[in-house]
Amino acid sequence: MQLTGTARINNQGELEIGGVTASELVARFGTPLYVMDEELIRENCRAWRAAVKTHLSRADVVYAAKAFCTLAMCRLVEQEGLGLDVVSGGELYTASSAGFPAGRIYFNGNNKSREELELAVNHRVGRIIVDNFLELELLEDIAASQQREMNILLRVSPGIEAHTHEYVKTGQLDSKFGFTLENGQAMTAVRKALRQPYLKLRGVQCHIGSQIFALDGYREATRVLIRFLRDVKQETGALLDELDLGGGLGVYYSEGDTPVSVAQCVGAIAGEARTYVEEMGIPLPKLVFEPGRSIVGPAGTVLYRVGARKEIPGVRTYVAVDGGMADNPRPALYGSRYSALVANKANKPSNEQVTIAGKCCESGDILIQDINLPHLEAGDILAVFTAGAYQYSMASNYNRLARPAVVFVRAGEAYLVVKRESMADLVRNDIIPAEWTGNESLRVVR
Ligand code: LLP
């Protein structure tokens, strides 16, 4: 168990984050509750900016909003001077509602609709990362009709296997993302993009996967794309000046995870790029990074209220909490492992092995399999760590569970940034056909 950021165990043996105790947080905001350590998010943003500043004279860091996207988060990212990577009209709308400067927005995604592209052009986002030929045509059409030049990057699929879970790998040959390098599709896309009067091709982008610990994949991607920039120059004469390497840096969830630091990651990529551009005889392009998880993941903690307990002697003890796969689908989707502690018994010895179950009606709704914790009783508060990325953003209303609230904590204060959904929210968009009203013939009489 590693405590990160401002999380600590106070003198009463209770978990505190941002100077606020878990019991105070659950008393004020209820459970389940996503708690975000604001100080740590800001530190992580600064670590990225500092790392690129140390190693590169020109670079952009754009936070991948998909990891955790709310108005307050967009505002924080703006304050910290990062750009923002969005992947849908909804994320773009959130960013613009928060007043995020459009010029610092990168728009990713493999199937942007005409409406989404129009929104992006209307907002004049800084970069659109074009993923496929249909998008290239749509975007030229929209930009031309508005007589507005748009800066684009092309998403390239570099054919690299990142060592991570199958579902979060993205750069390999058999991938739905981007223009494939191996078969010449990427070069065809470059030629086509260069012919579009309203599209200004600035560079290329790739993203090899997520939750990555080994830097070799990044080094390889850097070389592959730099070689491609050299080929583009040789074959078309165009010198593309931007190289976006996506996100993916891994974080600690549980024992066995061995993350590398932001500084190591940026240092390795910058070093590789510098050496390889020399070999290829092209100038060093501006490097772009799109970190998501490494900025917010470790800053989040979910607080659950412990409920029922089921002991099967000789087999297993299940302890259920008041959330589960609806607020965190990651264990069910990817088999992700988490670490946790009992917030109100943080100093007690972990002398019991239990399995933490969620409350959804599925056997697969297990949050943590076989974890050693102090004896759990109904009413205890379970804190599950590294909950800042891809949890709130992937939460659902499965079983008609209302989505939890999100609070930022800092210096002894807690700020509500997303209200807990109400029961009324759950039926807000539901409609009973008007034709049914008063129509007795529809009622089955038994
Ligand atoms: N850029 C692009 C183009 C991406 O597709 C992603 C993540 C990122 C940046 C940010 O990657 P990060 O630094 O957060 O690893 N739901 C999965 C993760 C999916 C990641 C999708 N793309 C999970 O919960 O592990």
pLDDT 10s digits, 407-434: 999 999 999 999 999 999 999 999 999 9
**Closest ligand 1 atom, CA of 155?**
3
**45 is an active site residue:** no
C-alpha 399 to ligand 1 mean position (Å): 26
Which helix (H) or strand (E) element contains residue 152?
strand 150-157
- Do 217 and 159 reside in the same domain of the chain? yes
- Do 198 and 139 reside in the same domain of the chain? yes
Q: How far apart are CA 168 and CA 249, in angstroms?
A: 12
Residue 364, pLDDT above cutoff 70: yes
Whether the bond between 313 and the residue before it is cis, its omega within 30 degrees of 0, is no
Q: How far apart are CA 191 and CA 196, in angstroms?
A: 9
- Do 151 and 285 reside in the same domain of the chain? yes
84 beta partners = 63, 105
**Closest ligand 1 atom, CA of 330?**
24
Residue 163, pLDDT above cutoff 90: no
- Do 203 and 265 reside in the same domain of the chain? yes
- Do 189 and 252 reside in the same domain of the chain? yes
Q: Is residue 386 part of a domain?
A: yes
Q: How far apart are CA 337 and CA 14, in angstroms?
A: 23
- Do 248 and 324 reside in the same domain of the chain? no
Domain boundary among 262, 291, 320: 291
248 lines ligand 1 (CB under 6 A): yes
- Do 273 and 152 reside in the same domain of the chain? yes
Q: How confident is the model at residue 440 (pLDDT cuts 50, 70, 90)?
A: confident
Q: Is residue 84 part of a domain?
A: no
| 168 touches 209 (CB < 8 A) | yes
**Residue pLDDT, tens place only, 210-244:** 999 999 999 999 999 999 999 999 999 999 999 99
Tell me which DSSP letter residue 405 carries.
E
Q: Which residues contact 11 (CB under 8 A, 6 or more apart)?
A: none
Q: Which of 210, 244, 293, 295 to mutate to test the pocket of ligand 1 (most atoms within 8 A of CB)?
A: 210
Q: Which residues contact 53 (CB under 8 A, 6 or more apart)?
A: 59
Residue 172, pLDDT above cutoff 80: no
The three-class DSSP label of residue 274 is helix
Q: How far apart are CA 79 and CA 322, in angstroms?
A: 35
- Nearest-CA residue for ligand 1 atom 6 is 247
Q: Is residue 286 part of a domain?
A: yes
Q: How far apart are CA 311 and CA 403, in angstroms?
A: 29
The CATH number that applies at residue 137 is: 3.20.20.10
358 lines ligand 1 (CB under 6 A): no
Q: How far apart are CA 407 and CA 303, in angstroms?
A: 11
Domain boundary among 248, 272, 291: 291
67 lines ligand 1 (CB under 6 A): yes
Q: How far apart are CA 155 and CA 181, in angstroms?
A: 10
Q: How confident is the model at residue 178 (pLDDT cuts 50, 70, 90)?
A: very high
Q: How far apart are CA 92 and CA 86, in angstroms?
A: 6
Residue 141, pLDDT above cutoff 70: yes
Which pLDDT score is estimated for 185? Answer: 97
Q: How far apart are CA 108 and CA 329, in angstroms?
A: 23
Question: Terminal CA-to-CA distance of the chain, rounded, Å?
Answer: 59
Q: Is residue 13 part of a domain?
A: yes
Total of domains in the chain: 2
247 lines ligand 1 (CB under 6 A): yes
Residue 171, pLDDT above cutoff 80: no
- Do 168 and 256 reside in the same domain of the chain? yes
386 lines ligand 1 (CB under 6 A): no
Q: Is residue 89 part of a domain?
A: no
C-alpha 360 to ligand 1 mean position (Å): 26
The CATH number that applies at residue 385 is: 2.40.37.10
Q: How confident is the model at residue 340 (pLDDT cuts 50, 70, 90)?
A: very high
For 192-220, the DSSP string reads HHHH-TTEEEEEEE---BSSB--THHHHH
Strands 105-107 and 127-130: parallel
- Do 322 and 365 reside in the same domain of the chain? yes
Q: Which domain holds residue 359?
A: 8-37+297-426
C-alpha 291 to ligand 1 mean position (Å): 8
- Do 273 and 311 reside in the same domain of the chain? no
Q: Is residue 90 part of a domain?
A: no
**Closest ligand 1 atom, CA of 336?**
25
Distance of CA 212 to the CA centre of its chain: 13
Q: Is residue 435 part of a domain?
A: no
- Cα–Cα nearest to 63, from 51, 73, 53: 73
Query: How many other CB atoms are there within 10 angstroms of residue 254's CB atom?
Result: 16
Q: How far apart are CA 194 and CA 309, in angstroms?
A: 63
Residue 401, pLDDT above cutoff 70: yes
C-alpha 31 to ligand 1 mean position (Å): 27
- Max CA-CA distance within the chain? 83
- Do 311 and 407 reside in the same domain of the chain? yes
Q: How far apart are CA 387 and CA 331, in angstroms?
A: 12
Domain boundary among 291, 315, 341: 291
- Do 149 and 237 reside in the same domain of the chain? yes
| 229 touches 285 (CB < 8 A) | yes
Q: How far apart are CA 110 and CA 401, in angstroms?
A: 30
Find where tokens 């739905």 sit.
Answer: 176
Residue 445, pLDDT above cutoff 70: no
Q: Is residue 311 part of a domain?
A: yes
